[in-house]
Each structure stands twice: as structure tokens, then as C-alpha cells.
Amino acid sequence: MDAKAAARKTAATREGIKTALLRLMEKKPYHDISVPDIVLEASTARCTFYRHFPTKDEVLLACCKDRFEGLYRRMQEEPSYTFHDTSLGYYMYWQEHLPFLQLLQKQDLLFFFTKNLDRFLYDVTGRAGDEDEASAPPAKLVYHFFCSMSAMSGILLYWLNTGCRESAEQLAQYYVSFLAEGSEGDDDCRYFREHHEYPFKHTYV
């Protein structure tokens, strides 16, 4: 078997195991699903499972990573240059993958999604940027990124937990209005807009 055929076989095996876990999660509680259950559902061998995944949790984590890889590909195909366009693309993507989010929600497993959300987004956003950049970004930009992503993701999770009533466009507008209007009444922000500096001595480099 040549290298390409072996890679295809490996990918197909991993995909079969992940699909089997998600199918089982539709039928029974996650904590009741065992590795033998997954092996049987995937029509594979137990040793094959452990060759690809050390635990059941790693299979679910891989399912989450797949969705973020899809988000990365979407970012590559449809680059956005404004907060509105970026957030609209983000919310449209997760609307398309709503069944996966709802499956995690049904199983009380949204923490699998949320505890890695910022890291996954930072990974894919970094790759979508200048991949030739050798140096790490300034700490201020990293913190700004996580701040803005937390706001975007917070809207997504609230939308999910309240019945998914709004459209992606409405969610994007909530996000942009938060960024644009949220600082209007703050004295420090108003001072910065007027003087292009802060009324305090900053400590970051």
C-alpha cells in the first residue's frame, strides 16, 4: 500500500470512529457509551480504535476540532475585513452545524466545545493570517483577540441556550453594536477617542 492509500485508509478509519460515536450519542447518554460500543458501531477492531484514539473523550475532542477546521476553511474561502462580515460568517457557519452543537447541548457536553473554543479559534485565525510571520504577535493583540472572541462566542452560546431564534445577521448586528456602542458611555474610552491616548499610564509593551 502506497503512502497516499495508507493516509486515505487512516482518515477513513478515524472518520468512521468519530461518526460512530456521534450516532451513539443520539441514542444513549455519553457516559454510558463505552469503547466496545464505539468499536461495534464503527465495525472495526478494538486495537484499531486505540491505534487512533487513546480515549473516548479524544474522539469527541476530534469531532470538535473537525468543526473548527471547517471554520478555518471557510475563512480561507471567504475572507472578511470588517467586524460585521467576520461575525456574520462565524454565525452562519455555526448555524449550519447547529445539529452538532445541539447534540453536545443535549448530552450536557457543551464544555467540550467551550473549554477549547478560544484556543481553536486562535489556532485557525493564526493560520488564516500571515503564515510567514516568524515572530509572535504582541501580547496586547493576543488579549484583544480573546476579548473579542469571548464576546462573539458568548452571543453564540446564549443564542443556543435560548432556542436559536435569531438569524445569523441579527447575531452579527448584536456583536457589532456591542463593540461600537458598548464604550460610548465610558469616560476612559471617550478620552481615548478625543486625545488618542489613555488617561492612565499603560503597562503593556
pLDDT per position as a tens digit, 191-201: 888 988 888 88
| Residue at which a domain ends, from 38, 54, 70 | 54
Q: Domain check: are 50 and 78 in the same one?
A: no
Provide the domain limits for residue 61: 56-205
Most confident of 40-44, 70-74, 113-117, 188-192: 40-44
Residue 204 phi/psi, 5-degree rounding, is: -85, 160
17 and 107 together in one domain: no
Residues 14 and 76 in one domain: no
pLDDT: which is higher, 80 or 201: 201
Do 142 and 112 fall within a single domain?
Answer: yes
pTM listed for this prediction: 0.85
Q: What is the mean pLDDT of residues 34-57?
A: 96
Question: 45 and 109: one domain?
Answer: no
- Within this chain, do residues 111 and 38 fall inside the same structural domain, yes or no? no
C-alpha grid cell for residue 199? 488617561
Does one domain contain both 28 and 91? no
- DSSP letters along 36-68, please? HHHHHHHT--HHHHHHH-SSHHHHHHHHHHHHH
Give the pLDDT mean for 22-41: 97
CA nearest to 175, candidates 163, 186, 167, 187: 167
Q: Are residues 162 and 66 in the same domain?
A: yes
- Compute CA 187 distance to the chain's CA centroid, rounded to the nearest angstrom: 34
Tell me what pLDDT residue 184 has: 80
Asked if 60 and 19 sit in the same domain, the reply is no
Q: pLDDT by residue (tens digit) across 89-130?
A: 999 999 999 999 999 999 999 888 887 776 776 666 555 444
Question: How far apart are the C-alpha atoms of 164 and 95, rounded to whole Å?
Answer: 9
Rounded to whole angstroms, how far apart are CA atoms 72 and 77?
9
Going by C-alpha positions, the residue among 160, 45, 151 that lies closest to residue 104 is 160
Is 132 in the same domain as 189? Answer: yes
Cβ neighbour number for residue 78 with a 10 Å cutoff: 13
| 139 in the same domain as 86 | yes
What confidence tier does 159 reach under pLDDT thresholds 50, 70, 90? very high
Our count of domains for the chain comes to 2
Asked if residue 121 and residue 169 are part of one domain, the reply reads yes
